[in-house]
Chains A and B, each alone.
Chain A
Amino acid sequence: MGLRSKSSSFKAGLTALALLVAVTGCATPQQKDGKAVAVMYDEVYDPLEPMNRYFFDVNYALDALFVKPVSEMYRGVLPEAVRDSVSNFLTNLSQPIYLINNVLQGDLNGAGDNMGAFFTNTFLGVGGLFDVAKLNTPSEDMGQTLAVWGVQEGPYLVVPLLGPRTTRAAVGGVADYYLDPINYAAKENDIEHFGAVRWAVNGIDQRSRAIEALDEIEKNSIDFYAAIRSLYRQNRNNMILNGASNSTQLPDMSFDDDDNPVKRN
């Protein structure tokens, strides 16, 4: 891996990013208290629904065949302390890209926490295996950064192998890959398949923590695809606001003929 190919792929990532901002950036962000706030859309923007449903089924089958059984095995074989350390290690690896995104979002307190957590846990937490800092740093990605910048979320997508994404989050994910210093450090040190291994372990870690929750959603839903789509988008909006009060996003529950909600003819 030469420097040349690195910088050209970096450029490609930036170009994609610039294109997205150019295409969708004209939309003005909603201003509230001087901060850009993501708008929670009432209606679902899913123009590619037939294709998305197809890939949702494909992903579901792959999950049932491989991901879920492996996740169950992972959870069954390894003690909780070990799994927590895997999770801590992955989070610690992500602190640099969280930091970059916090800086880009103008959240310097968040960036300071990322810095503190990374150095504390890397040096005092045995390379990030233990969370000594206990700073509880939420995940930050380029999709969230673009949202803060006022880029609209775009059509809902179900990406093969990756699952639900807004277009904004999908583009952000590509940008994150090229911006992440850890990926360059891995290349520099000739760690083979680093990105793929990190992605797979992270996937199993996340899946193993959501086995019951996902089973329950599936069991109680009459349209699993639509339920996941709504949950995904609400959760993304919550992440963009960093869990701050979501009262501005809640839909109106008042009706015109309010004292008598049931129609009487």
Chain B
Amino acid sequence: MLVAVSAMTGLFQSPAFAEDSKEQAALSMVKKIGDEAIATLSNESLSDSQKQDQFEKFLDSSFDMQRIGRFVLGQYWRSATEAEQNEFLVVFRDYMVASYAEKIGSYTGENLDIKDATSLNDKESLVHSVIVRPNGPPIKLDWRVRRTNDGEKIVDVIIEGISMAQTHRSEFSSVISQPGVGIEGLINKLKEQIKTASNK
């Protein structure tokens, strides 16, 4: 009986130990970018704008921004024209950059402690990590990583159980559904937001 059980658990566990499992790949991907991000943020020889350039590169190379953009438009993606879809993807990316840009300057020695990865579905894994802060309690941070044709890409970041993609989708749907706003209105609002952020 015991042998049978251990054989069974061995059977179920073996994919997790396989060298090329998507969880392992996701874990090493997040480890790599986490190390790079902390190294960039704590590098005092870089100016804030240099750090911001690094962040943009990191966003473009490590995030599946097309998928995230499509997800946050939710049901409205299908009703949008191709031109609107493409414009939205560009504006959404700039909005993400603008929203996170000024957080770069407020880095105060936080560290990213990456724990482990669990499978979410046949393509996606969740990498669990904790932001360790010099003052204040630690923050739980999960990375949703998807295996794509271009390798592993981040599709969502979940802070203390709060999904950023879902928050954006909820907010954007609310804006689009207001009378007389629509997708064009959402794009204009995002543009305004980017402008006010970059004027500071």
Contact = CB atoms under 8 A, between A and B. Distances in A.
Contacts, number: 97
A19 interface: no
B21 interface: no
Interface stretch (B12-20, B34-42, B48-56, B118-126): B118-126
Interface in A209-231: 216, 220-223, 225-227, 229-231
B176 to A, nearest CB: 10
Contacts of B149: 259
Contacts of B190: 222
B147 to A, nearest CB: 12
A226 B99 CA distance: 17
Nearest to A217: B167
Contact of B174 (A44, A238, A262): A44
A238 B175 contact: no
Contact of A222 (B82, B103, B189): B189
Contacts of A225: 174
Nearest to B185: A222
Contact of A253 (B140, B156, B173): B156
B66 A261 contact: yes
Contact of A234 (B67, B142, B161, B189): B161
Interface in B66-93: 66-67, 70-71, 77, 82, 85-86, 89
A262 B87 CA distance: 12
A234 B82 contact: no
B118 A245 contact: yes
A222 B163 contact: no
A30 interface: no
A254 interface: yes
A31 interface: no
Contact of A262 (B70, B120, B123, B126): B70
Contacts of A230: 166-167, 170-171
A223 B144 contact: no
Interface string B143-154: 010100100000
Contacts of A250: 120, 126, 144, 156, 158, 163, 166
Interface of B: 66-67, 70-71, 77, 82, 85-86, 89, 99, 103, 118, 120-121, 123-124, 126, 140, 142, 144, 146, 149, 155-156, 158, 160-163, 165-167, 169-175, 186, 189-190, 193, 197
11 contacts: A226-B171, A226-B174, A230-B167, A235-B160, A243-B161, A245-B118, A246-B142, A246-B158, A247-B118, A253-B146, A265-B82
